[in-house]
Amino acid sequence: MAHKKWIVADADKERASLLSEKLNIDPFIAFLLVSRGIDDELSASDFLSDSCAFTSPYSLADMDKAVNRINKAIDNDEKICIYGDYDCDGVTSTALLYTFFESMGADVTYFIPNRLTDGYGMNMSAIDKIKSWGTDLIVTVDNGISAIDEAEYIYSLGMELVVTDHHQIGETLPRACAVVNPHREDNKIKFRDFAGVGVAFKLACAVYDGEVDDMLEQYADLVAIGTIGDVVPLKSENRGLVKRGLALINDNSRIGINALRKAAGNEENELSSVDVAFQICPRINAAGRMDSADIALELLISDDYDEARFKAEQLSLENTHRHEVESNILIDIKEMIAKNPSLVDDRVIVIAGKNYHHGVIGIVAANVVTIYGKPAIVIGIDDDGKCTGSARSVDGFNIFEAISSCCDVLTHFGGHPLAAGLGVEEENIDLFRQRINEYAREISPVMPAQSIRLDCKLSPFYLNTDLVDNLTVLEPYGAENSQPVFGLFNVKLMSVTSIGDGKHIRFEVQKKGQNIRIVQFNTTADEFPYKPGDMLDVAIKVSKNYFKGKYYLSVRSVDVRLNGIDDNKYFSEKSDFELFKLGYDGKNNLCPKREDFVLIYRFLKQNNGWQYSFDDLYFALGQAVSFGQLSFALDAFCETVLINLDGEKVILNKAEGKADLDNTNVMKTLKGRLNIE
């Protein structure tokens, strides 16, 4: 995993103390609120309140037109088709409007495109199919704002269109009876960051023309799941919608969601927004990623318990299959990189493989970003030569603009600053890799350092279930209101134990006689680069587990590192090295001296090589040599056959005679560029 900079949040302690007194809240909670910018009485009171003021749906432009057209369709028994999307937001939006329109007596059906055969959004063949059903009115959810040509086609076939969407608006609105989108400039609203399901809920409220509380009692669970799944900011109305939705979910009111909870093995615990994000949303998403999202929709609208249980189990199997496919692609990518390490020397990592499943390559790209700390584009090459790519980026590097700079070698593309999709001919993949990296070298020679925000340093003595209970007032957690992360500093590692069939570990640390057990997921014991006795810093999240009638503290590792690491030194030295590799002038601290070679080689002999990452080796050496010195020293060791490199692992060879490291091509070239005699 790429090294991240730790940033401990700061807060005005006097302001926090004043807030604690005025609102009569725990001083620690007040400190956390202030550190997150919620630092006055009004905003804190609003944030902590269980109630929420929901704006009128008619504050959204065109809402009156949308309501009039839908009411006309219902009154005249016209056929309405909900045109949805295959992700969690799109599925819940479709389920919400379908069940609501049905309850209003409408003749309603739905269509959700297949990711693999239809692609995202509206398409002409789908419109033809919908027309063949005798449809009079299409209502989109979570899509449609960019369907300019498709909208015209709908009208050419004699149908009409109402668009509800939450994506950014282009220069032209599609032809429609109404276009409801919170990003329209003529809306009379302050908060605009709704998910698609939030916009669909607003439409349903407007058509219902009744108390919003009545609608929340019916549909807040669907709104909460879609809102959490789409990772929109959990503030303002979104926060209120998710709060009400979680209460409904935990009341087991909807058969399909209750069945999904049981399939996830979490029918006893009260679900939080984090549980929904990691247990419910992925199962709904899995259907649309691997095949058709229809099964997920059928589950959410089901009123038959046995049918719902069966479909929930199917979704769990699809989710397991999705994990396996992702894992296999990631293994293939790691093997490809081990054979050709230069792939990750690029500013933007571009990797293509045969028959990579299009439904999961975005998740795989996100994993590559996490591992290497650079933007990544994963491209799947089908048997027919069709190539589909998915990109993920790091904060501070706009991947959409980078891809746009290469638009002439792509068949299509679209997306956002942190995520995008594209199509490219197989013969143009290498050219695309070259072009996007030329752009990246010019715009961002060194990628922005990624960071982890710690809410505060914490003493182990405060780690108990009372802390978790106190933190519940900050929930629901999500985008722009993340689950608190705490730092345990200078703790001693006592033991490491494999759990979960060896896929995860639990390690125990100690400080001042206090022992803490910490779980780290997706790390095997062989991959954990620390040994008992090491002094560590650990970034953690805390929660509670329910077992045999009692709640227990659960501590999860977000990141772990040796104590005393100098982040600024690391990122500065890494930047110097990467700029030098790109052809920029270098500094003398890139060149290893004799004592550096001795230090590094002695350490490798003591540890029988090195089986962990390059960064781990750099830190294990106590940052005694620079990032560049270590890299060039390893290259020189390889050239003299003192070691072999297997990816980032260092394998020691039997030394025969004395190696003349200064006479290696690596060192001669390096000294030549640095003008060192």
d(Cα 616, Cα 599) in Å, to the nearest integer? 16
d(Cα 58, Cα 206) in Å, to the nearest integer? 7
What's the confidence (pLDDT) of residue 583?
86
pLDDT at residue 529 tops 90: yes
**Section 29-48 average pLDDT:** 92
pLDDT bracket for residue 345 (50, 70, 90): confident
What pLDDT, in 10s, does the model give residues 531-540? 999 999 999 9
**Section 505-509 average pLDDT:** 97
pLDDT bracket for residue 173 (50, 70, 90): very high
Residues 221 and 257: beta-carbon distance below 8 Å: yes
What's the confidence (pLDDT) of residue 656?
77
**Section 447-465 average pLDDT:** 92
Q: Which residue has the higher pLDDT, 485 or 345?
A: 485
pLDDT bracket for residue 648 (50, 70, 90): confident
241 to each of 205, 212, 231, 328, 481, how far by Cα in Å? Answer: 13, 11, 14, 38, 15
What's the confidence (pLDDT) of residue 253?
82
What's the confidence (pLDDT) of residue 415?
82
pLDDT bracket for residue 267 (50, 70, 90): confident
d(Cα 211, Cα 54) in Å, to the nearest integer? 11
Residue 373, phi-psi category: left (phi > 0), alpha (psi -120 to 50), beta (remainder): left
Q: Which DSSP letter does residue 169 get?
A: P
> Mean pLDDT of all residues in the chain?
94
| 297 burial level (CB within 10 Å; 0-12, 13-18, 19+) | buried
Separation of CA 288 from chain center: 17
What pLDDT, in 10s, does the model give residues 133-156? 999 999 999 999 989 999 999 999
Cis omega (within 30 of 0) for bond into 375: no
Q: Which DSSP letter does residue 425 get?
A: -
**Section 394-421 average pLDDT:** 92
Q: Is 357 helix (H, G, I), strand (E, B) or coil?
A: coil
List Cβ neighbours of 417 (8 Å cut-off, separation of 6 or more): 393, 398, 399, 400, 401
pLDDT at residue 368 tops 90: yes
Check the CA dihedral 37-194-473-205 and report its sign: positive
570: enclosing H helix or E strand: helix 567-581
Q: Is 375 helix (H, G, I), strand (E, B) or coil?
A: coil
pLDDT bracket for residue 563 (50, 70, 90): very high
What's the confidence (pLDDT) of residue 340?
86
pTM assigned to the model: 0.91
pLDDT at residue 637 tops 80: yes
Terminal C-alpha separation, the chain = 37
d(Cα 560, Cα 557) in Å, to the nearest integer? 7
From 365, 443, 372, 363, select the one nearest 402 (Cα to Cα): 443
Residue 459 one-letter amino acid: S
| 423 burial level (CB within 10 Å; 0-12, 13-18, 19+) | middle
pLDDT at residue 275 tops 90: yes
pLDDT at residue 326 tops 90: yes
Q: Dihedral, CA atoms, 215, 216, 218, 221, nearest 10 degrees?
A: 140
